[in-house]
Amino acid sequence: MNTFVALDVGGTSMKGGLVAADGTVLLAESRSTGRERGPDAVVTAVGDFAAELAGRAGNPPVAAGVAVPGIVDEAAGTAVYSANLGWRDTPLRALLEARLGMPVGLGHDVRTGGLGEAAHGAGRGRGDFLFVPLGTGIAAAMIINGSPYPGATGAGGEIGHMVVRPGGEACACGQAGCLEVYSSASALPRRYGDASLRTEDVLARAAAGDPVAARVWEEALDALADALTAATMLLDPSLVVLGGGLAGSGERLTVPLAGRLAARFTFREPPPLALAELGAQAAMHGAAILAARALTGSNV
Amino acid sequence: MNTFVALDVGGTSMKGGLVAADGTVLLAESRSTGRERGPDAVVTAVGDFAAELAGRAGNPPVAAGVAVPGIVDEAAGTAVYSANLGWRDTPLRALLEARLGMPVGLGHDVRTGGLGEAAHGAGRGRGDFLFVPLGTGIAAAMIINGSPYPGATGAGGEIGHMVVRPGGEACACGQAGCLEVYSSASALPRRYGDASLRTEDVLARAAAGDPVAARVWEEALDALADALTAATMLLDPSLVVLGGGLAGSGERLTVPLAGRLAARFTFREPPPLALAELGAQAAMHGAAILAARALTGSNV
């Protein structure tokens, strides 16, 4: 069975592993991106980590897959823009293929996570669905026919910047009232008034009867229900898979959210909700699939 | 060159024609659907109209395409639900194939219009784009890779029922604050307070300085800009093609709308706007393409 090198590159750290063609994770480790040394050094660090992993495999890997943040042009193999890593029109796929001497597939982090959930997680066998990681920010991967749909320019899936509260609170993106301002994992402590807390602390206080925490949590659920309703009107997904840090809340998230969706949907049924199954390894699993596709010459 | 029978079935009337494989319209006429005689009679009327058109062709047609309103399952060839025509799980494709003795392609009216604009209209050569007819209601066709994307259950594209004004005016769909309540061709006379007027009358009064008409028009543009911004965040279309009755307003629509989009987009460019080019014949052109695809065994 083929073995692939699979990397999920984040802002400060990157996860990497060896993954078999059936999705079995043979090895998984983490490294720093070393972004303080500049964008070229990050490319070198990614290549070094991939080469190190390849060298440790019993069965030599035949291809590599790499998921990166920011704006990604999968077809061109380019990291178009990454605020955190400093990349701008970086031909990452070609650079890594030259470094590793094997085919490389490049993908957007959230879309690649959705691809992982589609193949081995909560979206298995569910056709077209929406994967929505609720982390520091909020984005979505639209899975259509088993693959993430990037939009015309690779900038699709920005559900976190859909305005759900016109004239609402300012967002870092320049708009006001974006979903992300109310419902991201970082929004809860900030809106509660104590950014040093963790999201789960705010939820615990809400459950314990703290009225401010309860209001913040209810507003997060309301905004998320509004955004998922709007997205469903347009996209009609068969399922919504919730991931990211907030999905760790489990039924404390899905039960009240499903209730709000049921109340909002008037002329059709809401899509069912599911929790992501692969957690922090979703994008690594997806990267292994990108590797497999790179081997057969399919870019996306 | 192959000739196709192409029908666009509406609530009260249907347009039909003979269309050559290169998109040339050889013949175009209209008939009543006779919906007052019930759903089965409408199926008969559609079949009779198609057979009549086929009989009048110099070059016998090799396939037919039919666009219908409501909820349509293109892959199954079923008219799942049409409030206007009374259809419910009607196997329209099989019924028409038996009546006509040729392959039939079935499509949703708005999606088939988008397919027409993709092949022969404003979307020609533009890749993935959004077709948004602004008529009595508002819907959208998402064109992906040259074909309309129906969603997981055929219920996608309901941009008219995205809520843009939470807690806003009631919509017939049961929600409140839907785009359609503010920006459809029927919304303008109603919100102006005189439903007997035509949309263009309200626009003329707005242009002449009537403050109520001006406010209604500005609110329609604001709501439309908000919905298109939200849809772009999610879908990232390369272009938005505006159709339907309101597109007859031309630059009185596109210029202020483009200005509003430019003001709303903060971290990426808005998609360009274009006016539909095929007018009321868009779905007939699309139906001819469905016919051509039915001939080669492709359902969608």
Taking only the tens place, the pLDDT of each residue in B163-215 is 999 999 999 999 999 999 999 999 999 999 999 999 999 999 999 999 999 99
Residues of A at the B interface, defined by Cβ within 8 angstroms: 127-129, 140, 142, 144, 149-159, 161-166, 173-175, 226, 229-231, 233-238, 264, 266-268, 271
Among candidate residues A193, A9, A190, A155, the one with its CA nearest the CA of residue B267: A155
Q: Residue B36 contacts by C-beta under 8 Å, 6 or more apart in sequence?
A: none
What's the pLDDT score for residue B11?
Answer: 86
Task: From residue A25, give the alpha-carbon distance in Å to each of A22, A57, A123, A200.
Answer: 9, 12, 19, 29
The closest CB to that of B156, out of A129, A230, A235, belongs to: A235
**Residue A234 to residue B157, Cβ atoms within 8 A:** yes
Residue B250 near residue B94 (C-beta atoms within 8 A): no
**Tell me, what's the ipTM?**
0.94
Instruction: Tell me if residue B241 falls in helix, strand or coil.
Output: strand
A204 alpha carbon, distance to own chain's centre: 25
As a whole number of angstroms, the distance between CA B212 and CA B229 comes to 26
Residue B280, min C-alpha distance to chain A (Å): 23
- Substitution target in A159, A171, A234 with the highest count of B β-carbons within 10 Å is A234
Residues in chain B within 8 Å Cβ distance of A266? 173-175
Q: Residue B226 contacts by C-beta under 8 Å, 6 or more apart in sequence?
A: A163, A166, B164, B179, B264
As a whole number of angstroms, the distance between CA B253 and CA B249 comes to 6
What's the pLDDT score for residue B270?
Answer: 97
Residues in chain B within 8 Å Cβ distance of A159? 233-234
**Residue A236 to residue B268, Cβ atoms within 8 A:** no
The DSSP code for B146 is T
- Residue A223: closest C-alpha in chain B: B166
A39-55 helix and A92-100 helix, angle to the nearest 10 degrees: 40
What's the pLDDT score for residue A83?
Answer: 84
Residue A253, min C-alpha distance to chain B (Å): 22
Strand-pair category, B129-133 with B240-243: parallel
**Domains plus CATH for chain B?**
3-113+280-295 (3.30.420.40), 126-277 (3.30.420.40)
**Tokens 């993709």 belong to which residue?**
B118
**Residue A165 to residue B166, Cβ atoms within 8 A:** yes
What's the pLDDT score for residue B297?
Answer: 80
Among candidate residues A290, A300, A221, the one with its CA nearest the CA of residue A256: A221
Q: State the Cα angle at A77 between A76 and A81, rounded to 5°.
A: 95
Mean pLDDT score of chain B: 95
CA contacts within 13 A on the Cβ side of A244:
24
Tens of pLDDT, residue by residue over A250-298, are: 999 999 999 999 999 998 899 999 999 999 999 999 999 999 999 987 6
Residues in chain B within 8 Å Cβ distance of A235? 142, 151, 156, 234-235
Residues in chain B within 8 Å Cβ distance of A237? 151-152
**Residue B236 to residue A166, Cβ atoms within 8 A:** no
Instruction: Tell me if residue B39 falls in helix, strand or coil.
Output: helix
Among candidate residues A78, A76, A59, A60, the one with its CA nearest the CA of residue A68: A78
As a whole number of angstroms, the distance between CA B54 and CA B63 comes to 9
Mean pLDDT score of chain A: 95
**Residue B238 to residue A175, Cβ atoms within 8 A:** no
All residue ranges of chain A with pLDDT < 50 are 300
What's the pLDDT score for residue A297?
Answer: 79
Residues in chain A within 8 Å Cβ distance of B149? 144
> For chain A, what is the HEC assignment?
CCEEEEEEECCCEEEEEEEECCCCEEEEEEEECCHHHCHHHHHHHHHHHHHHHHHCCCCCCCEEEEEECCEEECCCCEEEECCCCCCEEECHHHHHHHHHCCCEEEEEHHHHHHHHHHHHCCCCCCCCEEEEEECCCECCEEEECCEEECCCCCCCCCHHHCECCCCCCECCCCCECEHHHHHCCCHHHHHHCCCCCCHHHHHHHHHCCCHHHHHHHHHHHHHHHHHHHHHHHHHCCCCEEEECHHHHHCHHHHHHHHHHHHHHCCCCCCCCEEECCCHHHHHHHHHHHHHHHHHCCCCC
All residue ranges of chain B with pLDDT < 70 are 298-300
Tens of pLDDT, residue by residue over A143-168, are: 999 999 999 999 999 999 999 999 99
